């Protein structure tokens, strides 16, 4: 029995969570991505997994009703987060109201997964970007138990994970709030683990802190930054010199479904959408700007209610959603598949991550270096007073 077309599977694990006889497990397949596998000796062919899969039913999408450029009021919240601390502030709000939060934890770098927290002291466990697919495990089952007991729940995840949760629950629940994070696509845990093992062959991974973005002089820089439990730096390579982050940003090894993601669009599946806001023109005036800026997109009345209740936690500047969409490709369409995707997958299975990535990122790195050169020249020209005609040409041709 097939749950859905394999190429459409997001790995949300709704099918595994809903199976009453535990016949479904999530197993690693191409490029290390998890897919559901049914044990025919246990399956009773009830069809519940097929009916629950979000690919086999209509998801409800919402066009945003409000949007903001935002930062957290708390300096610590903003500085300790990858971008502005918005998700952390909302998590704190739910916990202060007696609720619980389910979100992605990267504290075990080789086992990134969704966990439940119920105390403010544990919010740090959910901080930071994780450029790898989080394993849902049995989180949906646990969320259902919490909701049935009357507990307020906030779920934070990628749009497909939010859709999977809604599909699993099968109905709107008044005490559930959801946040989706604007998503480019997800690499597998296996690819990350293999990359770390090749970068750090003689290191034990217990207690390692792995980051993919780092604030340097107030700016968020992409790379792979690894420190041990004592804070000693073991690896610090920035984009585009680091193969893992460059492969991630160029769409080299996401899930197959990511390149046809139905959730990468203007209408959103969650109550609130959070994403980075890059103030390239340096025009935004808002407190705590050095901690980064976020797009805070309110999609439902329930989301608006949550923002209003926690308004004292944020600095908000009203935004224009059309402008947000224009600045962020994943609010319009999925990330295009890298032309070397299939070749990388073949090479990866034979020669390992690093050799496969270096071989298949050669053209991408040439393109990046060319763009960096052009942008550097453009920055110099923009600084020349009176160079209006040249500036217009640069704007027109990008």
Instruction: List Cα–Cα distances, 289 to 14, 316, 326, in angstroms.
Output: 38, 11, 21
Return the pLDDT at 384: 56
What is the mean pLDDT of the segment spanning 180-187? 95
CATH for 6-56, among 3.30.70.20, 3.20.20.70, 3.40.50.720, 2.40.50.100?
Answer: 3.30.70.20
Sign (positive or negative) of CA dihedral 247, 251, 256, 262: positive
List, for residues 129-157, the tens digit of each pLDDT value: 899 999 999 999 999 999 999 999 999 99
Quick one: which of 161, 343, 363, 358 has its CA closest to 258?
A: 161
CA distance 10 to 33: 10
Return the pLDDT at 171: 83
Residues of 293-302 as b/e, b for ≥16 C-beta within 10 angstroms?
bbbbbbbbeb
How far does CA 188 lie from the centroid of its chain? 13
Backbone angles phi, psi at 280, to 5 degrees: -65, -30
Beta bridge partner(s), residue 297: 67, 273
Contact 12, 136 (CB under 8 A): yes
What is the mean pLDDT of the segment spanning 64-82? 83
CA distance 286 to 92: 22
Q: How is the chain split into domains, by residue range?
A: 6-56, 58-359, 361-398
Mean pLDDT of the chain: 90
3-state secondary structure at position 155? strand
Return the pLDDT at 345: 96
């Amino acid at each position: 029995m097939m749950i859905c077309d394999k190429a459409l599977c997001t790995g949300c694990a709704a099918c595994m969570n809903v199976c009453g006889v535990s016949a479904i497990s999530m197993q690693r397949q191409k490029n290390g991505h998890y897919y559901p596998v049914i044990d025919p000796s246990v399956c009773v062919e009830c069809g519940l997994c097929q009916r629950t899969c979000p690919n086999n039913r209509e998801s409800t999408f919402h066009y945003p009703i409000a949007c903001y450029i935002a930062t957290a009021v708390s300096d610590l919240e903003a500085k300790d987060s990858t971008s502005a601390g918005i998700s952390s502030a909302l998590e704190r709000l739910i916990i202060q109201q007696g609720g619980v939060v389910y979100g992605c934890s990267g504290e075990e770098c080789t086992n990134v997964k969704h966990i439940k927290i119920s105390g403010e002291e544990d919010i740090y466990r959910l901080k930071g970007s994780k450029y790898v697919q989080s394993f849902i495990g049995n989180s949906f089952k646990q969320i259902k138990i919490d909701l049935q007991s009357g507990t307020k729940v906030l779920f934070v995840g990628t749009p497909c994970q939010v859709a999977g949760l809604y599909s699993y629950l099968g109905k709107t629940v008044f005490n559930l709030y959801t946040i989706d994070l604007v998503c480019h696509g997800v690499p597998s845990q296996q690819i990350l683990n293999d990359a770390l093992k090749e970068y750090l062959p003689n290191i034990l991974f217990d207690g390692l802190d792995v980051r993919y973005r780092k604030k340097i002089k107030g700016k968020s820089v992409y790379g792979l930054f690894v420190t041990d439990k004592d804070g000693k730096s073991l690896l610090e390579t920035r984009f585009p010199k680091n193969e893992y982050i460059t492969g991630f940003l160029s769409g080299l090894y996401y899930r197959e479904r990511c390149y046809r993601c139905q959730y990468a669009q203007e209408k959103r599946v969650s109550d609130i959408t959070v994403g980075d806001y890059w103030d390239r023109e340096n025009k935004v005036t808002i407190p705590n700007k050095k901690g980064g800026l976020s797009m805070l997109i309110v999609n439902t009345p329930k989301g608006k209610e949550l923002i209003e209740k926690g308004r004292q936690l944020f600095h908000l500047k009203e935004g224009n959603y059309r402008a947000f969409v224009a600045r962020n490709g994943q609010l319009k369409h999925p990330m295009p598949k890298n032309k070397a995707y299939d070749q990388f997958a073949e090479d990866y299975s034979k020669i390992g991550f690093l050799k496969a990535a270096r071989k298949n990122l050669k053209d991408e790195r040439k393109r990046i270096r060319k763009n960096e050169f052009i942008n550097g020249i453009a920055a110099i020209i923009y600084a020349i007073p009176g160079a209006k005609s040249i500036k217009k040409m640069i704007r027109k041709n990008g």
